[in-house]
Structure 1
Amino acid sequence: MTITIFGKGNMGQAIGHNFEVAGNEVTYYGSKDQATLFGDIVITAVPYPALAVLAKHYATQLKGKIVIDITNPLNFDTWDELVVPDDSSAAQELQQQLPASQVLKAFNTNFAATLQSGQVNGQAPTTVLVAGDDDAAKQQLIQALANSPLQVKDAGKLKRAHELEAVGFLQMTLAASEQIGWTGGLAVIE
């Protein structure tokens, strides 16, 4: 499968590493790059404010693509709230901006270190929770990561992205206040 990742930072690299380990072809674009190739799956490993810019700039190229939003729309000035309405999420906003794409929410409840190592604090496998309204798109993501060290779990419809963003926010708050390490986080143990 072919994967396009917008974002060359820690998260983009860690996510891409898992797709590469699983045997997929990955192309990365930085903030100053002009994207020319769009894979089967497109990952937006960018800050929340950049989502709308990407959607507007690449709407035509993203038609029919699986687009994965990894953002946590946190107010970084206060670290005290999410900046999306209580009945929405960054992923739901992105789906409205890209109605011809299949938007999924994933990777936002994981830290880059846990994605890179495939483990949470060296004790449990890293679990990626994915929400979306298109079951075939979710299955394609699960299949693309099947040969990686990650577990991928279907968290339900896209409206569940609101809860996933709250969990991501909670983990970031705990790590920023040094109550957990950036190699830790919440784990799903079977």
Structure 2
Amino acid sequence: MIAQPRLQSRPHLLFQSPFDRRRRALLVAAAAVAALGALPGWAVAASDGFRIGIIGAGRIGGTLAELWAKAGHELLISSRHPDELKPLAARLGTNVRVGTPREAASFGDVVLIAVPYGALPQLGRDYAGLMAGKVVLETGNPRPERDGPMATPALNRGTGLASAEYLPGVRLVRAFTSVPYLALRSEAHRSGERIGVPLAADDRDALAVAARLVEDAGFEPVPVGGLARARDFDVGSPVFGRALTARELRQALGLAPNL
């Protein structure tokens, strides 16, 4: 498990000046590079970019695909109707291809899952074996009105722990779950203090990879703790559905500020 005091004490995750922002980005990138020691060598493509499989290229998945393509990552975007994604892939460039969810699960040693939460149990049954040992960023939020009876126990337990049961064997990170997708589109790489993206994971190396991808998308990673702490930014929490700066997010979550 991630020791919460250590996560709170990392001074490089929030800086105010442009110089310190560059320094922070370098430190996050260095941590991610160190984490690559646990990934196969072919997980990293040209220019130190990741190979990322995206399962679900709707509002969240499609937005992150655009941001990560601009950052130089190699992507395979997928949905139940992959032909419908060809215009998006063509617009994003030659580093982006289209495939099925199964192909996306196989392609990336980093996988983004951005599907309605009610689809997660079946997705886990179908593809968890293909994603075993991989860093998986999972973005879904249980909503009883959409996802049915499975949503309420997932919320009661906390989505970090619930998602881990649906995706056995993966190196899970809850990420990009609480910031509205419109803010992901409009606030990426903004000047001044960046919007914070809370992260929860039990795997430090997976957390480092996720932090780099948050940075590459133009936001500020805010590690909250292990998967059990993901409930702190679940649906119904004070921070859910809000585009808060990293400083505001830490304050709202009761995390120690980084000075």
TM-score normalized with structure 2 length: 0.60
Secondary structure in structure 2 of the residue aligned to 1:3: strand
1:186 alignment counterpart: 244
Moved more, 137-146 or 4-13: 137-146
The structure-2 alpha-carbon separation of the partners of 1:111 and 1:26, relative to structure 1 and needing over 3 Å to count, comes to same
Query: Per residue, is there more strand in 1 or in 2?
Result: 1
Match of 1:16 in 2: 65
- Structure 2 counterpart of 1:153, one-letter code: V
1:119, CA displacement in angstroms? 5.0
- Map 1:32-71 → 2, pairs under 5 A: 32=81, 33-36=100-103, 37-71=106-140
How far apart, CA to CA, are the structure 2 residues paired with 1:2 and 1:42? Answer: 8
Aligned residue-pair number = 175
AA partner of residue 62 (structure 1): M
Residues 1:119 and 1:145: Cα distance change in structure 2 (over 3 Å): closer
Instruction: Give distance in 2, aligned partners of 1:88 and 1:114.
Output: 28
2:160 aligns with 91
Q: Mark the CA change 1:168 to 1:10 in structure 2 (over 3 Å): closer, same or farther.
A: farther
Q: 2:233 touches 2:240 (CA, 8 Å); kept in 1?
A: no
Cα distance, 1:144 vs. partner? 3.2
Identity %: 25
Q: Distance in 1 between matches of 2:231 and 2:156?
A: 7
Residues in 2 aligned to 1:16 and 1:57: alpha-carbon distance in whole angstroms: 23
Compared CA separation, residues 20 and 118, structure 1 to 2 (3 A) = farther
Distance 1:132 1:89 in 2: 13
Return the offset for 1:168: 6.3
Deviation >3 Å, runs of 4+: 119-124, 144-148, 166-172, 184-187
Give the equivalent residue in structure 2 for 1:133: 202
Distance 2:180 2:233 in 1: 13
Aligned equivalents of 2:233 and 2:66: distance in 1?
22
For structure 1, which runs of at least 5 residues remain unmatched after alignment?
A: 173-183
User: The residue matched to 1:143 in structure 2 has which SS?
Assistant: helix
* Alpha-carbon spacing, 1:143–1:74, altered in 2? closer, same or farther (3 Å): same
C-alpha distance after superposition, 1:48-67 (max 9, x if no partner): 10111110001210111111
1:64-118, Cα deviation, whole Å (9 max, x unpaired) = 11112211112226xxxx6235652233222123331111101011111111223
Judge conservation of contact 1:38–1:61 (CA < 8 Å) in 2. no
- Equivalent-residue separation in structure 2 for 1:170 and 1:31 (angstroms): 31
Taking a change above 3 Å as real, the CA distance of residues 120 and 88 of structure 1, as seen in their structure-2 partners, is farther
Provide the secondary structure at the position in 1 that maps to 2:234: helix
Normalising by structure 1, what TM-score? Answer: 0.79
Give ranges in structure 2 of 5+ residues lacking alignment: 1-49, 82-99, 249-259
